[in-house]
Amino acid sequence: MTLDVNTLFVVTIYVEAVLGLLMLFAWIQDTAISALAWWGFAHLLRAASITLLGMYGTAPELVTIDLANALLFTAFATTWTGARVFDGRPAEPVYLVIGAVVWLLICRLPIMADFAGLRVLAAAVIITSYAWLTAFEIWRGRGEPLLSRWPAIFMLFGYGALFLLRVPLAAMLPWARIDGDLSRSVWLTAISFQALLLTISVAFVLLAMAKGRTELRHRTAAMVDPLTGIANRRSFLHEAGLLAKRHSVDPRPTAVLLIDLDHFKSINDRFGHAVGDRVLEIFTASARAVLRTTDLIGRLGGEEFAAVLADISREKALLAAERIRESFADAAQYVDDRPVGATVSIGLAYCESPVLDVSGLLAEADQALYHAKERGRNRVEVATLSRGIPHRDAVAVARIARPAA
């Protein structure tokens, strides 16, 4: 069996069908990534289209040319739609059919009937447009840390360029034809084979993207608190450990805050757990609005939070803690039109030592937090028995503290 265009038709049909079924199987395994279903059906549509194209000469051109190409363009439109869905954009029905409709309309033009080359070029332009639009959609979602996005972008761009150029290139090289028959052109066969390889490569890169997202989602679930969207205890302690290693190389003054919502059990009992969850979300939003992007914040469990503020003076750390307390008290005065009046108590420990012992600082901040609770809540207490700071009292009361609500 020689590797000519006819052989490539058969091979391409088989490959497209297998890739489509593989995509659908992957989607069944993880239905949360619905883009896999779109991409799977796109491959199956291409297999059907190529089957009809392969019947040229044995069936009416309405089927082997018009309908086959309409299916082919719909397949590429489906791939584009899958890329949109993958990054959370809506599936627009008009995008699925616009290429096929344009094709069927231009096929009715008299000039298209007279010059077959124009129809081939028009088909290539439509396919290239869809391939490049798919590459653009994947590029738009580049904020998500998926390394396989970039190979997908380059391959789709190359696929579109190859599809646009392969027929004109073969037509420009008459010496590469056999007996004047373009269908037996050596160059057309070679370029078609390259397109098949790119189709396989793009399919596996898209599968790698889906797999990467699943793994990222699992890592995120393991490291991020699902309610507040900040680091959970495990992630917080891990990131704090990395920060401590960087601190040993380049020591900077660092503050650790331990934060506890006041009377949180009472809030749950009086207003219900839904309101309690909203209070936690409001606190997180208030704290993140105050803290810098370089600061680390996490939920240690229940209503207890912690933050690490690196490269900050003692005064600025205290001011940040007070701003968290005040902004949260204002934001949580009323929650869902209910007079919740939630507040927080904060313990602050400060380190100017070359060694950053986060666990030790958390213990000091815990003692300061205990005194904040003991002295009326809704206040910030500063532990002065901190690393690199001379011992005075075990805990000093922050002078700017609002009376307990």
| Domain edges within the chain | 5-223, 233-397
For residue 5, what pLDDT band results from cuts at 50, 70 and 90? low
Q: pLDDT above 90 covers what percent of the chain?
A: 60
What backbone torsions phi and psi does residue 231 show, to the nearest 5 degrees?
-60, 140
For 96-100, 147-151, 242-246, 400-404, which range has the lowest pLDDT when averaged over its residues?
400-404
Contact status, residue 138 vs residue 83, Cβ threshold 8 Å? yes
Residue 397 parent element (H or E): strand 395-397
Q: Are strands 296-301 and 380-383 parallel, antiparallel or unpaired?
A: unpaired
* Coil, helix or strand at residue 344: strand
Q: Please write the tens of the pLDDT for every residue from 186-213.
A: 555 666 677 788 889 999 999 999 999 9
Average pLDDT, the chain: 85
Q: Determine phi and psi for 341, rounding to 5 degrees.
A: 60, 45
Residues 151, 183: Cα–Cα separation, whole Å: 31
DSSP string, 116-160: HHHHHHHHHHHHHHHHHHHHHHHHHTTTS--TTHHHHHHHHHHHH
C-alpha–C-alpha distance, residues 22 and 38, integer Å: 12
Amino acid at 374: E
Mean pLDDT of 312-316: 93
Strand duo 344-351 + 296-301: pairing = unpaired
113-162: per-residue pLDDT in tens?
Answer: 666 667 778 888 899 999 999 999 999 998 888 889 999 999 999 988 88
Q: Closest Cα partner for 38 from 75, 78, 77?
A: 78
Q: How is residue 144 written in tokens? A: 């998500």
Distances (CA, A) of 148 to 27, 54, 154, 376: 18, 33, 10, 54
Per-residue model confidence (pLDDT) at position 21: 96
pLDDT at 319 over 60: yes
d(CA 390, CA 267): 40
In whole angstroms, give the CA distance from residue 37 to residue 42: 8
Which residue, among 91, 36, 344, 49, has the nearest Cα to 208 in the 3D structure?
Answer: 36
Where does the pLDDT of residue 105 fall: very low under 50, low under 70, confident under 90, or very high at 90 and above? Answer: confident
In this predicted structure, what is the pLDDT of residue 340? 94
**Whole-Å CA distances, 193 to 80, 186, 206, 382:** 23, 11, 20, 71
- Top pLDDT among 43 and 218 is at 43
User: Residue 347: which H helix or E strand, with range?
Assistant: strand 344-351
Contacts of 185 (CB under 8 A, 6+ apart): 170, 173, 176, 177, 178
pLDDT above 50 for 399: no
The first and second tokens of residue 350, run together, are 């400060």
233-397 is classed in which CATH architecture? Answer: 2-Layer Sandwich (3.30)
220/32: higher pLDDT: 32
**258 within 8 A of 304, measured Cβ to Cβ:** yes
Residue with tokens 């701003």: 323
DSSP 3-state of 108: coil
Given the residues 16, 61, 281, 303, the one annotated as active site? 303
Distance, CA of 263 to CA of 357 (rounded, Å)? 30
DSSP-assigned beta bridge partners for residue 299: 305
pLDDT in tens, 47-69: 999 898 888 778 887 888 888 88
Strands (E), 129-267: 254-261
- Return the pLDDT at 54: 81
Active site residue 239: no
Please give the distance of CA 64 from its chain centroid, rounded to a whole number.
Answer: 40
The tens digit of pLDDT for each residue in 91-103 reads 988 989 999 998 8
Q: What strands, in cross-sheet order, belong to the sheet with 395-397?
A: 296-301, 304-310, 254-261, 344-351, 380-383, 395-397
Q: Does pLDDT of 252 surpass 80?
A: yes
What pLDDT digit, counting tens, does each position of 278-288 carry?
Answer: 999 999 999 99
Residue 341 reports pLDDT greater than 90: yes
Residue 182 has pLDDT above 70, yes or no: no
pLDDT bracket for residue 231 (50, 70, 90): very high
Identify the DSSP state of 402: P
**Residue among 355, 348, 357 at smallest CA distance from 397:** 348
Please, is 293 exposed, middle or buried when counting C-beta atoms within 10 Å of its C-beta (0-12, 13-18, 19+)?
A: exposed
The stretch 245-273 carries a mean pLDDT of 93
Q: What is the pLDDT of residue 108?
A: 79
